[in-house]
A and B are shown apart, each in its own frame.
Chain A
Amino acid sequence: MLIYHLRDVVMTRMAEGVEFRLTVPSLQISLGEKIALIGHSGCGKSTLLDILAMILRPTGVGAFRFRPEKESPPVDVAKAWAQRDLNFMGDLRKHRIGYVMQTGGLLPYLTVRDNINLSRQLLGMPEDGSVEALAKNLGIERHLDKHPELLSTGERQRVAIGRALAHHPSIVIADEPTASLDPIAARKIMALFVELVEEMQITVIIASHDWDHIKQLGLRRLAHRTSQNRAGTVTETKVTG
């Protein structure tokens, strides 16, 4: 049962005369898997995550299928991109995907409670105490009525994790969620995050530049190789898994 099935997905970008190319010859992720994407910054991790989150259109797609639940057939994301059906993908994100960014991504004008509740509210889910329960698990229940600006970076990342999980998505994608924190806090929050997704049986993909942080958490590491041509005009990262 695959949640993601990608074949020959390519994303090319030009920056200052150098072509950055991300190629994914084949990527298959099963429902319920915990995936780690390890690599130094600039290697294309964020690009892959954005493609998986359907917020970035790849320049070339062989196949891109997304199957967020067992009961329904896979969705053809390649077709949706070809048709530029942004609303269709927006709806998929709203229901099925949670996203944790490296920093921020919270709405400054909403309280912590409303930030966590954002997706639930959008989906018309009931106020059943799950936001409070989640906040308690994340250790931020005393901040529920504050605005994000009053919180520390670590606390904000906890809120971001809470928002990504609150509506019980099929998959949570996290882009270096702890990179801006000190090592001790980073390990603590990462462990808490993985524990929560396990408990909630949510598939997770975490990008990180530091394997040491997460190797003991039982994640499957995606293989990738970065190479440069002789002239230095093309940098290519190949991801398989």
Chain B
Amino acid sequence: MSHPIRKMRNILRLALTDYFYEWQMSSCFILALAAVLAPMMILFALKFGIIGSMMEQLIEDPRNREIRPVGSGHYDPAWFSTVRAKPEVAFVIPRTRSLAATLQLKSDSAPRIIPAELIPTAEGEPLFHKNIAIPTGLRQIVLSESAARKLKVGVGDRVDGSLNRRHNGQRERVHVELTVVGITRLAAFARDGAFVPLDLIIATEDFLDGRAVPQLGWQGDPPLAGERSFPGFRLYASAIEHVAALRDGLAASGIEARTRAADIDIVQTMEQRLSAVFWFVAIIGLSGFSLSLGANLWANVDRKKRELSVLRLVGFRTSDIVWFPVLQALLTGVLGWLLASLIYLGVETSINRMLSGQAGVDSPICRLLPIHFEIALLFTVGAAVLAAALGGFRAARIQPSDGLREI
């Protein structure tokens, strides 16, 4: 066995023997460490979980990216292509007059006729989940959850859409058979509604205005000549932070629009304040943690000064002596972290079980990522080893005879 390996083995053996022989003292150090670390982890997990899910909600909810015009205007296709070209715009589509955008829906499985709001949609619809098909043509439809429930239909089923008008003094009613290609979740649209291609909405508006819709075989006056303009639009920014700029841009061109900016502001301010509170508490906690760990390990080295001096008396080198407290602190750090992690995981489970459902959020209130555990371990071991090494150097610097003669 070569010399350095034998030496390291001797040091390791002696340090561990001491650590486990003094198991009561060692357990106290581990407990003391865990008692400070575990609450820090819980605090951070709560901050991370609560703010994280709030931010997630904020970012994920497309309604927070919507910019709605107030009143009606005249928006022609040229305006739409200009707006669509802006990089901050994720989605824009014309809206027809809202009175004209209603369709009576009926299915074979439900007795009632449901009047549904028609919402124009197209590729890139921000309110849809990725797995919902975009309706195309004139005969496809995506129902809101409440409409689908009342009609008792599912994806693939057919529903009958009908419209009536008074035209030249006569009541007229037309039907169009529609295939349900998707159903949106409640959060996307809470009322009875149907997402349909813009062409179908234009067709209903034309019909209600007394004109003919040849594609659907509906009779009436000849189609509108010239370019069609729309009274409104559905506009979504590509990200939350672009909402305010887009709204201001519209306002500059004389279009008053409404956004959820106030809500966003509230959440963002709250995030900042919660973060500030957290960091305030965290810095106090971390200082306390480092100090208590450092003081414990420092005092421990002091307590063992005589034993360390005995080791120097029998010929351990100064550099070897430092290894004793460092190895023991390393062990305390790792075991303390392990215990704190176990305590944390227990608390996490009970907090999440207690609060799940109440917050109305899918993501847990209290959570840590693996990287957070790793950072905690690194920080703990780093602080422990540093404190022990400083204490060890101090013990090694004094003359061995001084350490021996004390007491």
Contacts and interface: CB of A to CB of B under 8 A. Distances in A.
Given A50-B401, A101-B404, A109-B17, A90 B310 contact: no
Interface stretch (A60-68, A91-99, A130-138): A91-99
A56 B21 CA distance: 31
A90 B316 contact: yes
A56 B318 contact: no
B399 A57 contact: yes
Contacts of B14: 107, 109-110
A107 B310 contact: yes
Given A53-B313, A56-B399, A90 B17 contact: no
A122 B10 contact: yes
A110 B315 contact: no
B400 interface: yes
B136 to A, nearest CB: 80
B314 A124 contact: no
Interface in A4-63: 46, 50, 53, 55-57
A229 interface: no
A198 B404 CA distance: 27
Interface in B1-56: 1, 3, 6-7, 10, 14, 17-18, 21-22
B399 A118 contact: no
B306 A104 contact: yes
A139 interface: no
Contact of B314 (A86, A94, A104, A147): A94
Contacts of A203: none
B318 A105 contact: no
A135 to B, nearest CB: 18
Contacts of A57: 399
Contact of A90 (B10, B18, B318, B399): B318
B14 to A, nearest CB: 7
A110 B17 contact: yes
Interface residues on B, range: 20 to 34
Nearest to B21: A109
Contacts of B318: 86-87, 90
Contacts of B400: 55-56
A119 B314 contact: yes
Nearest to A46: B405
B307 interface: yes
Nearest to B397: A86
B315 A99 contact: no
B331 to A, nearest CB: 14
B325 to A, nearest CB: 14
Which of B7, B313, B317 has the most chain A CB within a 10 Å cutoff? B313
B18 A94 contact: no
B312 interface: yes
Interface string A80-118: 000000110011011100010100111111100010001
Contacts of B22: 109
Interface in B285-331: 306-307, 310-319
Given A101-B404, A109-B18, A109-B21, A93 B310 contact: no
Contacts of A108: 21, 307
Contacts of A104: 306, 407
A122 B319 CA distance: 15
A124 B6 contact: yes
B315 A93 contact: yes
Contacts of A50: 401
Given A55-B404, A91-B315, A124-B6, A105 B310 contact: yes
Interface string A173-204: 00000000000000000000000000000000
Contact of A56 (B1, B306, B316, B401): B401
27 contacts: A50-B401, A53-B401, A55-B312, A55-B399, A56-B400, A57-B399, A86-B317, A87-B317, A90-B316, A90-B317, A90-B318, A93-B313, A93-B315, A94-B315, A95-B315, A104-B306, A106-B310, A107-B18, A107-B311, A108-B21, A109-B18, A109-B21, A122-B314, A122-B315, A124-B6, A147-B21, A163-B314
Given A56-B401, A93-B315, 5 more contacts: A55-B400, A86-B317, A86-B318, A90-B312, A90-B315
Closest CB pairs A-B (n = 7)? A94-B315, A109-B21, A50-B401, A55-B400, A56-B401, A109-B18, A55-B401
